[in-house]
Amino acid sequence: MENYSDQEWIRLLKQGHEQACDQLWAFLVSNAQTVCWRWGLDEYLGSEAAAEAYHRIMRRGIFQFDYRSQFRSYCRRITVNEICRELQKQKRNLPAKISLDEIHEQVAAPNVNEQAGLERLLPCIRRLAAREWDVCRKYYLEGYSPDEIAAQFGIAQNHVNVLNYRARQKLLKCLQEQGYMSSDDILDGLM
């Protein structure tokens, strides 16, 4: 990447400056190919990820970049994120879904190992807002990544984190009110 300042980069890319766009593209491809080469991934995956990263940076990134890190690292980070997303797409092997009903069934089933922990959790889960539990359930029980959850609910990944945080905070408060002061207390009998 040419030695422009970050401000110059953003200005030139917003203007659609050909040379700057070419240089950004070359930088993204170089990063993606290096990752594929270093970690033994398919080169095609690298090209796809670089193209996705280019779209993302040109259509959103240059408007959202806040100068809190170097633009170079910002672009590199987006490329890596796109590689991981491509990998996820390729390797996606959806886990068996566990619905709330199934959780209730598990609690009712006397021979399930998790019964104790789940029984202790259920009254607290009922205190959560529906969206908070949806996020928490999808992340912890159904094995979706925050990125996938964000796409499913049409919200930002940051908001997925916020909802998960709120859920954990409420669950913690509720469990402590019931006298479970540590994870050992609640995990007792679970493993």
Partner 1 sequence: MGQDNEPKSQRISRLIHDIYVTSDKEIFYDEALVLMARCADALLSEDEARLQYPQLWHYFDLYPEVKVEYDILMGLARMDAAGEQKTPENLPPRPDLKRRSQRDLLEVIRQTFSGFPQLSLDLATTRGAYRTIEPVEVTLGQGEATLSLNILPSIDEPRTWDLLCTVSSPEKQFEEKLEFAPLWLQQDENGPILKETALSKEGDGNFSALAPGNYVLHLRLGNHEYVVTELTLPEPG
If one asks whether residue 80 binds partner 1 (CB under 8 A), the answer comes out as yes
If one asks whether residue 4 binds partner 1 (CB under 8 A), the answer comes out as no
Least Å distance, CB 151 to partner 1, is 8
If one asks whether residue 104 binds partner 1 (CB under 8 A), the answer comes out as no
Quick one: which of 20, 29, 45, 135 contacts partner 1 (CB under 8 A)?
29
Using CB under 8 A as the binding rule, the residues of this chain from 143 to 162 that contact partner 1 are 143-148, 151, 153-162
Quick one: which of 129, 169, 177, 189 contacts partner 1 (CB under 8 A)?
169
Q: Which is nearer to partner 1, 9 or 175 (CB)?
A: 175
If you write DSSP's letter for every residue of the chain in order, what string do you get?
Answer: -----HHHHHHHHHTT-HHHHHHHHHHHHHHHHHHHHHTT--HHHHHHHHHHHHHHIIIIIHHH--SSS-HHHHHHHHHHHHHHHHHHHHH--PPPP--HHHHHHHHH-TT-TTHHHHHHHHHHHTTS-HHHHHHHIIIIIS---HHHHHHHHT--HHHHHHHHHHHHHHHHHHHHHTT--SHHHHHTTT-
